[in-house]
Amino acid sequence: MTAAGYPGVSYLRLLLMTLPQIAIAATAFLALTVDLATLRKASLRTRWRVGTLIACAGCAGAILLLFLYPQYGSFGDGMLIANPLTRVVQTALLVLAAFTALLSFDAVFTSHIGEYLAVILFATTGMMFLVASQNFLLIFISLELLSLSLYILAAFNKSSRQSAEGALKYFLFGGMSAAFLLFGISLLYGLTGSINLVEINRAIQGRPLTPMLAVALVMTVTGFGFKVAAVPFHLWAPDAYQGAPTPSGAFIASSSKVASFFVFAQVMLVGLAAGQGSGAWHNSKAGWAPVIVAVAALSMILGNLAAIVQTSVRRLLAYSAVGHAGYMLLGILAQSAWGVRALIYYVITYALAAIGAFGVLAALEAGDNVGVDEIPDLAGLSRRAPVLSFCMLIFFLSLAGIPPLAGFFGKFYLFSAALAGENSGPLWLVVLAIAMSAISLYYYLRVVKQIYVGEPAAAAPPMKISRTVTATLCVIALLVVVLGCAPNLLVGWIGSAMHLP
């Protein structure tokens, strides 16, 4: 660490650069205080209404701050980086947090609404720091802040044993993987004398892949592989997705994926890209490529094949998330600006579809409705809740990658980025990815078929769904369609943020 680094620190500049994060943290306190101090006697519905309003206002305020007063630059040893690209990702995170708050509306799994919304907002604060740092110290601390919040969110349904079980598994695996990540970081620090990603990259430039560096790489990949639920670090995902209260599941499946993938790509491409592979000198492929290839291939195969046999919708979504993590690793493997652009587009559109799918499940258990977990229970949903069913159709088709929805263009950009350029990933991996997307179509359509073709149980009345949730789901579905029909809206924005032609 540069103890004698920069002589003077402008605290004002730090304050200005972290203003959006501070705004979100302040909103979390506000939501907590208002709920605990003034609404103790109020009905659950009123409390959700006020809390959600505060949370959404905070997210909107932070987005406004990001756009009206952009503070580009870097602060101290890569500790805080603000550029147009981090702004894109931070905006996506804030929008997803607001969606999560809106989808939680009317949920019945907890009466601690202030705490619940505060944890979501604190997790968002952590993620905003996570994506804006190129320094391992802050990356690790904000990653822990995020993980801790997610464990709490997963355990929030205290009347359910499944919730406790899923959260405990998530917590134990998470603690273990954090230890691996820390071990990897400390080895990198020992090898390079720095925790700044840029410095690390400079120090390992041109160095052969020594066993020590290989160990550091594998440990680091283990740590992040857990966060993105890639095989073989995915074991927590099905239980956590199934057990967690549905809005928490939406948050775990969407927002945290966006932040984790962005920071994973950042660490691999900014910090460790220069570590030479065992290949010849002119082969500039990074040393970690074989590890990522193995993890990606395993994730695609296992995630998609395991999803076929699931009977629980949530577990199906969990295994399909593992499969999607495999595709997304292709974007890192491409080692190019195009790959990063495709990865960010893919992960944002994937997050929208995933939060939407969980949102529909959340709506089915909110208020007086009985929750749905098994696929057969969804039979005939289209007759009981036509709007929700149509939204679910859009989300599932987008996840499967059907044109003209966003999921198709995500896959298109990702696979073409993986094939283009001199650092292209192996061809067989892309072929495997395409084959696996075809398989994924089967299990997504199985759910859709139940919803549209299945016969509902005899006495199944139409469902009462809160208007807020329906409206939110429609907005998300609209986003998925619009970003699919006009992918250039988002791709162009990301590209211009990265100064791509």
Partner 1 sequence: MYLALFIFFAVLCVAGALNLLLQRHPINSALSLIVVMTSLAVLYLLLGAQFLAAVQVIVYSGAIMVLFTFVIMLLNAGREEHTRGSRAAFLVGFPGAAVLLALLVQIFLSARGHLAQARLGEYVTATHTLSSVLFRDLLLPFEVTSVLILIAILGAVALARKEP
Strand, helix or coil at 234?
coil
Residues contacting partner 1: total by CB under 8 A: 48
C-alpha to C-alpha distance for 384 and 394, rounded to whole angstroms: 17
Q: Measured from the CB of residue 3, what is the shortest distance to partner 1 in angstroms?
A: 6
**Is 425:333 a contact under the CB 8 Å cutoff?**
yes
User: How many alpha carbons fall within 13 Å on the CB side of residue 118?
Assistant: 14
Between 99 and 109, whose beta carbon lies closer to partner 1? 109
For β-strands 80-82 and 73-75, DSSP reports them as antiparallel
C-alpha to C-alpha distance for 376 and 97, rounded to whole angstroms: 31
151 sits near partner 1 (criterion: CB under 8 A): yes
Between 119 and 490, whose beta carbon lies closer to partner 1? 119
Between 262 and 415, whose beta carbon lies closer to partner 1? 262
C-alpha to C-alpha distance for 338 and 343, rounded to whole angstroms: 8
Between 77 and 365, whose beta carbon lies closer to partner 1? 77
Between 164 and 270, whose beta carbon lies closer to partner 1? 164
330 sits near partner 1 (criterion: CB under 8 A): no
Q: Which of residues 280-309 bind partner 1 (CB under 8 A)?
A: none
74 secondary structure, DSSP code = E
Between 1 and 434, whose beta carbon lies closer to partner 1? 1
Between 151 and 264, whose beta carbon lies closer to partner 1? 151
Helix (H) or strand (E) holding 103: helix 84-104
**Is 221:265 a contact under the CB 8 Å cutoff?**
no
Between 27 and 437, whose beta carbon lies closer to partner 1? 27
76 sits near partner 1 (criterion: CB under 8 A): yes
Q: Measured from the CB of residue 333, what is the shortest distance to partner 1 in angstroms?
A: 25
Q: Measured from the CB of residue 317, what is the shortest distance to partner 1 in angstroms?
A: 25
Q: Measured from the CB of residue 163, what is the shortest distance to partner 1 in angstroms?
A: 10
Stretch that binds partner 1, among 210-218, 272-280, 341-349, 423-431 (CB under 8 A): 210-218
Between 271 and 380, whose beta carbon lies closer to partner 1? 271
175 sits near partner 1 (criterion: CB under 8 A): no
**Is 274:286 a contact under the CB 8 Å cutoff?**
yes
* Torsional class of 335: left (φ above 0), alpha (ψ -120 to 50), beta (otherwise): left
206 sits near partner 1 (criterion: CB under 8 A): no
148 sits near partner 1 (criterion: CB under 8 A): yes
Omega prior to 404 cis, within 30 of 0: yes
C-alpha to C-alpha distance for 465 and 386, rounded to whole angstroms: 11
Query: Which ranges of 334-405 does DSSP label H, i.e. alpha helix?
Result: 337-365, 381-384, 386-400
Cβ burial 457-475 (10 Å sphere, 16+ → b, else e): eeeeeebebbebbbebbbe
Using CB under 8 A as the criterion, what x/- string covers residues 184-203 for binding partner 1? ------xx-x----------
Using CB under 8 A as the criterion, what x/- string covers residues 13-32 for binding partner 1? -x---x------x------x
Stretch that binds partner 1, among 142-150, 279-287, 347-355, 406-414 (CB under 8 A): 142-150
Helix (H) or strand (E) holding 80: strand 80-82
Between 144 and 373, whose beta carbon lies closer to partner 1? 144
Between 193 and 371, whose beta carbon lies closer to partner 1? 193
156 sits near partner 1 (criterion: CB under 8 A): yes
Q: Which of residues 82-141 bind partner 1 (CB under 8 A)?
A: 111-112, 115-116, 118-119, 122-123, 125-126, 129, 137-138, 141
**Which among 84, 95, 90, 130 is positioned nearest to 493, based on CA atoms?**
84
C-alpha to C-alpha distance for 467 and 475, rounded to whole angstroms: 12
Stretch that binds partner 1, among 70-78, 96-104, 250-258, 331-339 (CB under 8 A): 70-78
Class of residue 306 by CB neighbours under 10 A (exposed 0-12, middle 13-18, buried 19+): buried
276 sits near partner 1 (criterion: CB under 8 A): no
**Which among 95, 26, 30 is positioned nearest to 63, based on CA atoms?**
95
42 sits near partner 1 (criterion: CB under 8 A): no
Strand, helix or coil at 210?
coil
Q: Which residues contact 164 (CB under 8 A, 6 or more apart)?
A: 155, 158, 243
Q: Measured from the CB of residue 55, what is the shortest distance to partner 1 in angstroms?
A: 15
Which of 90, 91, 134, 142 contacts partner 1 by CB under 8 A? 142
**Which among 143, 131, 1 is positioned nearest to 77, based on CA atoms?**
1
- Residues within the interface to partner 1 (CB under 8 A): 1-3, 5-6, 9, 11, 14, 18, 25, 32, 75-77, 79-80, 111-112, 115-116, 118-119, 122-123, 125-126, 129, 137-138, 141-142, 144-145, 148-149, 151-152, 155-156, 158-159, 190-191, 193, 210-212, 215
